[in-house]
Chain A
Amino acid sequence: MRQSFKTRWLAPLAVIATLSGSIQSVQAQAVTYRVDPVHTFVIFRVKHLNTGFAYGRFNTISGTIVVDEKNPANSSVEIEIDANSVDTGNSQRDDHLRSPDFFNARQFPKITFKSKRVRKINATTVEVQGDLTIRGVTRPLTARVTFTGKGRNQRGQEIIGFETTFTIRRSEFNINYGIDRGLADEVRVTFSVEGIRQ
């Protein structure tokens, strides 16, 4: 049977148009955000002499967050923290933290996290599994991340916010100094990030 012009030439074009539309819509669902270093915070606390908590933060953070709201499994996150930017409000303690006793920041200047899997828990929470690297040692980390909001900044750019809190054992990253002298092994980390849409 002889196909009409319309069937022979226009049908494949329609298929291509439909497919490209689908791809575009999938791409549109995964949105990339750049970490806004000014509005992103990494705060940690560690117990001192089994008494009070010492708090600190890192001041230089960068990275990207890919968010797929329809299919969270397509989401991902990559974070890089400058170990030299550690700040506890005491320059002597900060120098000590940068020294080989703790971060050995000259040899290992970066602390990184790369996600491997993102799983939706509920409307505002996802579970992120990935690899955390501190002092050259990589260990798996699973954290529950909460969506904290979405909006626009003063420049009109779309922004998104997340927050998570998790606990690590610093000894797993070869940071053993002072553990047997009352400086706790467990370190609680709070990571609050704001991303700017790219």
Chain B
Amino acid sequence: MSVVIDSAITAGLAALVAGVVWLLGWRLRRAHLWLSALGVAAGFVMAYWRVLGRPDFPPSDATQWVFWFALLGLPLGWLASVPVAYRWVWAWGALLGVLWLFVLPFYPLLGGFWDYRVGVAYIVGFALATWLLMLLTASAGEERGVVVPLALSLLGGISAGVLFYGAKSASLAQLAGTLGAAVGVGVPLALLLRGFTLGRSALALAMLLYATLWTLALGFAYLTMGQLILLYLLGFTLALPRLPALQRLSPVWQVALPIGALVAVGGAAVWLSYAAYMAQGASYYGY
């Protein structure tokens, strides 16, 4: 089976699984909180299984942690949906949870590939950046319409391109791409179902998984710090639709501005990664 067909089947299955769970969540309104994050987790777990097979627990290979993060991150996603009065619990819980989670995959690099002090700085930095990303973008999950699921899905495609050419890891790229496909099923659902929202917990978990893939690509593959920062900045664009200034604009601009920014900056990021990769010589992937 060709790579393209295989990847398409994986992406389709991930989207189908996420879509079914989200549809169920939309029908059972009370379960929406739980099922919105579960849709992301189920879609990603399906994608991982197809791309890399069953991971060990505890993982022998640090990059396998991203599979378990889809499950371990579920409570963090659910916490994002607590009532406004208890959002401080979400903020502190997410901080502690993300700090703990990020130690797990990067611990093997301490004292080896990374000096202890540098490694701890990396882990804390990754955790803080991811916590901020989850905190600032979670509210986008309450946004109706296609803009948020479309942006979230585009982030997966852009991440796949940057990880493929920048990090030189096809499997991490494929995981990012299939995560994008899984959450991308939110686009037809938003078009078909009136009032459909992804939910805060889905956004929080999806961001955790994206950030984990990006940071794994820096720690274990060849992603540069510049590319990592750019990917985080692109992630923060998901918070744009909730900005009061943007909400005062016409509906067309409310869609065009965040999506346009994401496509322009993301496209440039992929192009720069591709150019840097090709500067090494003719692509061996092409053969």
Contacts and interface: CB of A to CB of B under 8 A. Distances in A.
Interface residues of A toward B: which range? Answer: 20 to 34
Interface in A86-110: 90-93, 95-96, 99-101, 104, 106-107, 109
A107 B1 contact: no
Contacts, number: 71
Interface string B156-182: 000000000001111110000000000
Majority DSSP secondary structure for residues of A touching B: loop
A106 B113 contact: yes
A72 interface: no
A104 B222 CA distance: 11
Interface residues of B, number: 31
A65 B283 CA distance: 40
Contacts of B63: 100, 104
Nearest to A176: B53
A90 B282 CA distance: 9
A96 B169 contact: yes
Interface stretch (B192-200, B213-221, B232-240): B213-221
Interface in B17-69: 52-53, 60-63
A110 B212 CA distance: 25
Contacts of B283: 92
Interface of A: 90-93, 95-96, 99-101, 104, 106-107, 109, 135-137, 174, 176-177, 180-181
Given A104-B220, A107-B109, 7 more contacts: A92-B277, A99-B168, A100-B220, A101-B170, A107-B61, A174-B60, A181-B2
29 contacts: A90-B281, A91-B281, A93-B284, A96-B169, A96-B170, A96-B284, A99-B167, A99-B220, A99-B222, A100-B61, A100-B62, A100-B172, A100-B220, A100-B221, A104-B62, A106-B113, A107-B108, A107-B109, A107-B112, A107-B113, A136-B61, A137-B60, A174-B60, A176-B52, A177-B170, A180-B1, A181-B2, A181-B3, A181-B6
